């Protein structure tokens, strides 16, 4: 069954090309729904083909891409499919995450393979995918559409939580990576955001803290709205985008 969303044809996301990793559950799925509802053209990326295809069917206007960002060999096929399906890219959301060992473990008890998987998914994946898409993002910035990369962070990137070593270390690295990239590319008009959505009622949180009370956690839909507003604030004003795109002879889709 295709899910019909009310489309905002005049807001800051109208016509923008957005890619979201980890887009079939939790915060990623909430972001897919939120940004489609705001009029974005969207591609979602996840590992499980059945879930990707099901999510794309349910949401009609979303392009589903099957790939694992933790695998180097998947990165360029993912990037090519994003550009091919959207015709460019304005916003990239690196949301896919890995907890490391489950149940969570002390660092001294963490298998090297679990630590490597967390780093591959949470740091190397976003680095490689962003690097592969930088040309498209920079082109979007030059066209006046704006370019934003949101790397989803966590309070574990700042606070040293026992048993969260693999996850916290990888998220801390991603946070610092975001700040450095923002410093290096701000002059080119590419903005990098590192934002913590808070503790949410998601499958990832349920695996990490199985005895938590969902009633005490933020709904992913609320976090998605907050992140969407943060992305919108980092984009140039829509009138500026339209004026610069018009001057360049580029049609801005506001339908």
- Continuous segment of H or E residues that includes residue 154: none
Catalytic residue among 167, 178, 185, 202: 167
- Asked if residue 8 lies in contact with residue 254, where contact means CB atoms within 8 angstroms, the answer is no
Side-chain-side CA neighbours of 78 within 13 Å: the count stands at: 29
161 a catalytic residue: no
The distance of Cα 238 from the centroid of its chain, to the nearest Å, equals 22
- DSSP string covering 38-77, please? TT-EEEEEES-HHHHHHHHHHHSSEEEEE--TTSHHHHHH
- The residues carrying an active-site annotation are 167
């Amino acid at each position: 069954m295709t899910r019909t969303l009310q489309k905002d044809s005049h807001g800051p996301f109208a016509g923008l090309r957005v890619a979201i990793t980890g887009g079939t559950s939790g915060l990623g799925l909430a972001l897919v729904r939120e940004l489609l509802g705001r009029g974005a053209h969207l591609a979602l990326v996840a590992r499980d083909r059945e879930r990707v295809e099901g999510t794309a069917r349910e949401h009609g206007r979303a392009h589903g891409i099957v790939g694992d960002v933790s695998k180097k060999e998947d990165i360029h096929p993912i990037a090519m499919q994003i550009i091919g399906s959207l015709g460019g890219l304005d916003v990239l959301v690196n949301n896919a995450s890995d907890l490391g060992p489950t149940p969570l473990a002390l660092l001294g008890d963490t298998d090297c393979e679990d630590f490597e998987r967390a780093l591959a998914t949470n740091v190397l994946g976003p680095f490689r995918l962003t690097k592969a898409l930088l040309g498209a993002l920079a082109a979007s910035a030059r066209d006046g559409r704006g370019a934003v990369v949101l790397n989803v962070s966590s309070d574990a990137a700042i606070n040293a939580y026992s048993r969260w070593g693999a996850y916290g270390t990888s998220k801390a690295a991603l946070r610092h990576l975001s700040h450095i990239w923002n410093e290096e590319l701000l002059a080119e008009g590419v903005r990098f955001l590192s934002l913590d959505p808070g503790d949410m009622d998601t499958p990832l949180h349920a695996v990490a803290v199985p005895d938590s009370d969902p009633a005490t956690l933020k709904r992913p839909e609320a976090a998605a709205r907050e992140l969407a507003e943060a992305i919108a604030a980092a984009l140039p004003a829509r009138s500026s985008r339209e004026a610069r795109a018009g001057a360049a002879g580029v049609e801005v889709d506001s339908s």
